[in-house]
Amino acid sequence: MGRPLINVPAKVKRGQVFEIKTLISHIMETGFRYTTTGAQMPRDIVTAFSCSYNGEEIFRADLYPAISANPFLTFFTVATESGTLDFKWVGDNGFSETATAKIVVE
Amino acid sequence: MVPLREVVCRAAALAIVLAMAGSAYGTDIPLDQRRSGYADLSRDSKAMQDDDTINPATLWVLDGEALWSQKTGAVNRACADCHQDATVSMKGVAARYPAFSPARNAPINLEQRINLCRTEHQQAPPLAYESRDLLALTAYIGRQSRGIAIAPPDDKRLTPFIEEGRKLFTRRIGQIDMSCAQCHDDNWGKKLAGSLIPQAQPTGYPIYRLEWQSLGSLQRRLRNCMTGLRAEAYDYGAPENVNLELFLMWRARGLQIETPAVRP
């Protein structure tokens, strides 16, 4: 579980701006809630996300407890070369997840 | 001394409750006026439901797809070993549940059907209500019926249970002393505090509810409303909840399945 969902166009024209959509399964427990017995529920969130395009970082975000469960992040970049997009999420309790997507630039 | 403002608030609240309590038995919504809660969603929520790559419920659907062909239980058998391709064999199934189970002599819902398959044919322990795996399988099976009209089975044995469901739907419960019908039959389209009152058409279950930040079953939603009425909610899988589900599906007959839907 925790498999990310990536949506990028399979083909784009050189110089074109295209959208990258990412969705990952995560409970994003804020750390501010208490159980019925009064025990504090420890924080368990994704703390950082990054995306690199052919090895070069193009987008990065720090996430905080106010971000809802199953964070959905979307952003844009300019198509330069065919290659791969690498995505990485890291979080509390050693959470780490990666994904890759291929893109063809014509 | 009770502050004046509080007295006014209480009086207003009482007036609202009395106004809504005018008819204890709701009249059915005319068939052509029925509509899915989708119609009242914000533009953003609609976009979220419409695009599988944005809809967070897709995460559960994908899990369900993996579980479908995962061997389990004492006989080491997967759902796919009997039912093969779910996109073919499960098409339309969610549109006709709850269905009558001769073994139980009562209707069973989709979750219970999945668990019956697990215990009888896979010899595996049943999955707990609202567990990730049961929601995932239900969402995956439900997804195969998207766009298909809800068609409760034409089964005489179900009739008394639909009637039971209707009784529950129109019976006043809880400290608030209101029935489901008083909101969802008589006052749909109006506001309850800041929220729009929907018709309670169960077209998209299990739903991804933004308030829950998770996928949840129809029974979770029903229990939610009961708690809101300050009534003691029926347990998951209780016959009352299944009868209510059955009545609601009968009431929504002809509307299209949207599973997995997104709701606020």
Query: Using one digit for the tens of pLDDT, what is the confidence trace for B47-63?
Result: 999 999 999 999 999 99
Mode of pairing for the β-strands spanning B207-209 and B262-263: parallel
Tell which residue, B26, B3, B7, has the closest CA to residue B15: B7
Q: Which of B13-22, B165-174, B208-217 has the lowest mean pLDDT?
A: B13-22
Asked if A72's CB is within 8 angstroms of B56's CB, the reply is yes
What burial class does residue A92 get, using C-beta atoms within 10 Å of its C-beta: 0-12 exposed, 13-18 middle, 19+ buried?
middle
Contact: B59, A70; criterion CB under 8 Å: yes
* Cα A84–chain centre separation: 15
Mean pLDDT across B160-177: 96
Would you call B241 exposed, middle or buried from its count of C-beta atoms within 10 A (0-12, 13-18, 19+)?
buried
pLDDT of residue B21: 46
The conformational region for residue B84 under phi > 0 = left, psi -120 to 50 = alpha, else beta, is left
Q: What's the mean per-residue pLDDT of chain B?
A: 91
Give the rounded distance of the alpha carbon of B200 from its chain centre: 9
* Mean predicted confidence (pLDDT) in B115-140: 96
Q: Report the distance separating Cα B178 and Cα B156, nearest Å.
A: 30
CB contact under 8 A, B58 and A25: no
Average pLDDT over residues B138-167: 96
Kindly tell me if the per-residue pLDDT of B5 is higher than 90: no
Closest to A23 (Cβ–Cβ): which among B54, B213, B214? B54
CA distance B234 to B262: 24
Of all residues in chain A, the one with the smallest CA distance to B67 is: A1
- Which residues face A88 on adjacent strands? A50, A98
Give the residue from B79, B152, B173, B154 showing the smallest Cα distance to B109: B152
On whether any CB of chain A is under 8 Å from the CB of B62, the answer is yes
SS3 of residue B198 by DSSP: coil
Cβ pair B247, B168 in contact under 8 A: yes
Res A3: pLDDT: 76
**How close does chain B come to A44, measured CA to CA in Å?**
14
The DSSP secondary-structure symbol of B210 reads T
Residue B19 pLDDT greater than 50, yes or no: no
The per-residue pLDDT for A28 is 95
Is B59's CB within 8 Å of A23's CB? yes
Per-residue pLDDT band at B228 (split at 50, 70, 90)? very high
Residue A5 pLDDT > 70, yes or no?
yes
As a dihedral over the C-alpha atoms of residue B99, residue B103, residue B104, residue B109, rounded to 10 degrees, the angle is -30
Distance separating alpha carbons of residues B242 and B234, to the nearest angstrom: 10
Question: What six digits make up the tokens of B163?
Answer: 């009637």
CB atoms within 10 A of CB B87: 11
- Cβ-based contacts of A21 with chain B (< 8 Å): 53-54
Confidence bin at B27 (pLDDT 50/70/90): confident
pLDDT of A1 over the 70 cut:
no
pLDDT above 50 (res B199): yes
Position with higher pLDDT, B39 vs B19: B39
For residues B129-146, give the mean pLDDT.
Answer: 97
What are residue B178's phi and psi, to 5 degrees? -130, 155
Chain A touched by B187 (CB under 8 Å): no
CA distances from A68 to A63, B45, B60 (A): 10, 14, 17
- The angle subtended at Cα A24 by Cα A62 and Cα B80, nearest 5°, is 170
